[in-house]
Amino acid sequence: MADSLILEVADFEVDVLTGVYSEETGKPQPLRISIAVRLTPAERYLPDTPLSASKNYMDLKAAASEALPEGLHFTLIEALGDHICETLFLQDERVEAVTVKIVKLAIAEHNEKIGMTLTRERRR
């Protein structure tokens, strides 16, 4: 089995324009997002290995916040997940796969987790 490196940012909250129903559109909804990225790892990581041998975790978070086009409404959270995956693939050619989990916080009635998980592999 080949070596792999998974970087993760879990359970951060961001407000995003998303939704299908009239009561959802026009105003940002709170979402809880987790992202896992599988990278081609370096041959070895030593105590003085520079950050460039991996990926900055904040890049993952930025793909689901700062990198979202301002004012764009994502009808489906699946489309938001797809956008996050594509952003991460464009950022770094070492990204082999991305998994995005999105939970819609505003529609939970009894603390249930309503949402989706999307995994995309890089298409070569």
Please report the pLDDT score of residue 15 as a whole number.
96
Q: What is the pLDDT of residues 7-33, one digit of tens each?
A: 999 999 999 999 887 777 778 999 999
pTM: 0.92
Pairing of strands 115-121, 95-104: antiparallel
Please report the pLDDT score of residue 23 as a whole number.
74
Which among 91, 96, 30, 93 has a CA at the least distance from the CA of 58? 91
Distance separating alpha carbons of residues 13 and 84, to the nearest angstrom: 14
pLDDT band for 2, please (50, 70, 90 cuts): confident
pLDDT band for 121, please (50, 70, 90 cuts): very high
Please report the pLDDT score of residue 83 as a whole number.
97
Q: 5-42+53-121 adopts what CATH topology?
A: GTP Cyclohydrolase I, domain 2 (3.30.1130)
Return the minimum-mean-pLDDT range out of 25-29, 38-42, 57-61, 113-117: 25-29
